[in-house]
Structures are given as C-alpha cells and as structure tokens.
Chains A and B, each alone.
Chain A
Amino acid sequence: MIKIWTMKKENAGVDKKKQKVTAGQIRVQKDLSELDLPKTMKMTFPVPDDLLNFELEISPDEGFYAGGTFKFSFSVNGNYPHDAPSVKCLQKIYHPNIQADGKICLNILREDWKPVLTLNSVMVGLQYLLLEPNADDPLNKEAAEDLRTNRRNFETNVAKSIRGGSVNGIQYDNVMTH
C-alpha cells in the first residue's frame, strides 16, 4: 500500500514537470518536426534534452563560400515565435553581413521578424546570405566595399580567408571541409 502511494506521488511530480513546457517549446517542436534539411545543412544538439539551443552547419555547394562548413548557434527563448531566435556565427569569417564576433545582419532576424516565420525560414535566410552576400547592408564595411567595387577581388579574398588566411591584416578561421 505504502509503495503505491509513493509511486503515485512520483508520477504526479513527473506530470507537473511535463506541464511546464512553454508555448515557445511547443512551437519549436512543431518547427523541428516539419524541417526537411537539404544535404548542405546539418543540425546538432549539444545538450540532447534542450531543443531551444542547437547548432547548424551549412556547407554551401556553390557560390563564394563553397568548400567551407559554417557553424551557427541558435538560441530560442520561451517567447518564441513572438521573439526571433538569436543566431550567431561561431567562426571568424570574411563576409559583408557577418561581423568578426559572430553578429549577423539578416533582416528576418531583426526588424523583419514576424511570428509566422519558422526556424526553416531563418536557415534558408542564412544559406542565402552565404550564396549572395549583400553589399548594401554591411556589418563588415571593408568586405562590403570589396564586393561592391571588385567582385573578382572579393572572391579571391573570400577564398583566402576561408582557408585560414589574412585579408587586410586580419586573420580568419580555416573552415574548409570539402
């Protein structure tokens, strides 16, 4: 008899924990279940039980950044989808819209975020940023100027930087994988 009571109490504890799932978590689960990642993207969960913090690797198969693998961290708060996920680039790369500290300039991560967007929208946006860097909205002004004035030179500089070389005296991370 006593055993049954203690079991019941333990089960009640489990139920309470389950009910603590936030609206944000529910929505993230839906986003993740609908994801159909292309072969150029891979997700990893450093803490398996934590769906709100994960990493994404993008390995573009064309464009300036082809050949490299770029790592991004995603952090989703409980107010998602009313707040945008916060996304950072984990490597130091030469890109007009990505700062050396990992800060990313992508419209849907800031002023153009709206709650009907999904994690997939953000991932597609990041992939697009690697395929088509945008010189009009720069975080790295030198890289943007380089892209605007001489596309060929920009291409050479990106190729150098993703192999761990320096551009304008700044060394970048070697991100080549294929």
Chain B
Amino acid sequence: MKVKVKRWHTVAIWQWDMEDSTDLCGICHGPFDSCCPDCRIPGDNCPLLWGKCTHCFHLHCINKWIETNDSEGTCPMDRQIFEAAT
C-alpha cells in the first residue's frame, strides 16, 4: 500500500535553556519563559541575564533596577555588585 502525505501540521514549543524555566523572575514575579512587564512577546527580544552570583532575571528587569541610584549596582537578591556572567 502506498501512502501519500498530502499535508502536515507541525507544532513546536520553546523554553529557555535553564534548570527550571518555569521559575519566576525575582523582580517582576513573572515566569522566565514569559516576558518582562514592559514587553509583549517572549523570546529573544526579552532575554534573561545571569549574574556571576548565579542569580537570574529578565534583562529588562535587572537593567531597570541597576539604573536606579538606590541599587548602587547591586544584585537585588544578595546585595553584591551585580556582574553579568560571561
């Protein structure tokens, strides 16, 4: 018997490559797989940023905090100077 595929419908899901991408960003309390509150579409335009301290946030969330005077450039979790992990 010959089978002819006339058409097919593909579905894909994505998630960030990390231990538990359903975890929440400590700043906005939204899931990492979702975007920061200022963005509308999750994905490469709203990426994550890890610090050397191993804490992770939405890039836009941690940037907004680091830019405030009160932050003094510290990680909001451990109050050490926040340096991006390379």
Contacts and interface: CB of A to CB of B under 8 A. Distances in A.
Interface of A: 22-23, 26-27, 30-31, 81-83, 111, 113-116, 118
A81 B70 contact: no
For the complex, would chain B's binding face be called helix, strand, loop or mixed by DSSP majority? Answer: loop
Given A81-B27, A116-B26, A23 B76 contact: no
Interface of B: 26-30, 36-38, 61, 64-65, 68, 70-71, 74, 76-77, 79
Given A114-B76, A116-B76, A27 B68 contact: no
Top 6 A-B residue pairs of the complex, sorted by shortest distance between their CB atoms:
A23-B37, A114-B76, A116-B26, A116-B76, A115-B27, A30-B29
Which has the most chain A C-beta neighbours within 10 Å: B29, B38, B68, B79? B29
B38 to A, nearest CB: 6
A116 B57 CA distance: 10
B65 A26 contact: no
Contact of A115 (B30, B38, B76, B79): B76
Given A114-B76, A115-B65, A26 B70 contact: no
Given A27-B37, A116-B77, A82 B64 contact: yes
A27 B26 contact: no
Contacts of B71: 114
B68 A26 contact: no
Nearest to A115: B27
B74 to A, nearest CB: 8
Contact of B29 (A27, A82, A113, A114): A27
Which has the most chain B C-beta neighbours within 10 Å: A115, A116, A118? A115
A147 to B, nearest CB: 29
